[in-house]
Amino acid sequence: MTGHGHRAVTFMVVGSTTGSPLAAAFSLMGAVLPDSLERVVLWGDRSRYHRRLTHWFIPWLVLTLFCFHHANWSVPSAAALVSGREGTLWGCASFWLMGCLLHILEDACCGTVPLLNPWRASFGIHLFRMAPKAGEMSAGEMAFTLVVVLFSLAAWAKRGITL
Ligand SMILES: [Zn+2]
């Protein structure tokens, strides 16, 4: 999935399920981290290792649960952040990591990612095809992103915003 698709879907899904713009903003920051790690930090040439170790959900899940535990399983809000409520920064970190987990799930919708073996991308469904040129959205990805964003927008509007 492209970075634009990841950002739009992750921000809207987290925002609509939590009602918190702060949680959505932190998940947005994590929305392309697995690809950024793959490209910038680990390997310059992605072809051989694309969607392998950086797209293995288990370490991201462990880190997310660790942060959620320290956040007392609460959703961070701007009001809690301003008042310095204990655990709010852990909550922000947990949603940042949640963005990484959603990235992997989104990639699994248009290809494969590792399940138990981090060196073998074996889990995923081909819900839509990617555009042949990197960075371009295919018609399928645009439709998928649009449907998720519109449903999330409706759910978020119904739920209201928690500041
Ligand atoms: Zn990816």
Tell me the pLDDT of the chain (163 aa) as tens digits.
Answer: 999 999 999 999 999 999 999 999 999 999 999 999 888 776 666 666 788 889 999 999 999 999 999 999 999 999 999 998 899 999 999 999 999 999 999 999 999 999 999 988 889 999 999 988 888 999 999 999 999 999 999 999 998 887 7
Ligand 1 centroid–CA 131 distance in Å is 14
Q: How far is the CA of 70 from the centre of ligand 1 (A)?
A: 27
With a CB cutoff of 8 Å and minimum separation 6, the contacts of 64 are 94, 97, 98, 100, 101
CA dist 127 and 138 (Å) reads 12
How far apart, in whole angstroms, are the C-alpha atoms of residue 12 and residue 151? 9
How many Å lie between the centroid of ligand 1 and the Cα of residue 107? Answer: 6
How far is residue 118 from each of residues 14, 36, 100, 141, 154, measured CA to CA in Å? 26, 17, 16, 25, 36
- Ligand 1 geometric centre to CA of 51 (Å): 6
Cα–ligand 1 centroid distance for 34 (angstroms): 6
| pTM score of the predicted model | 0.92
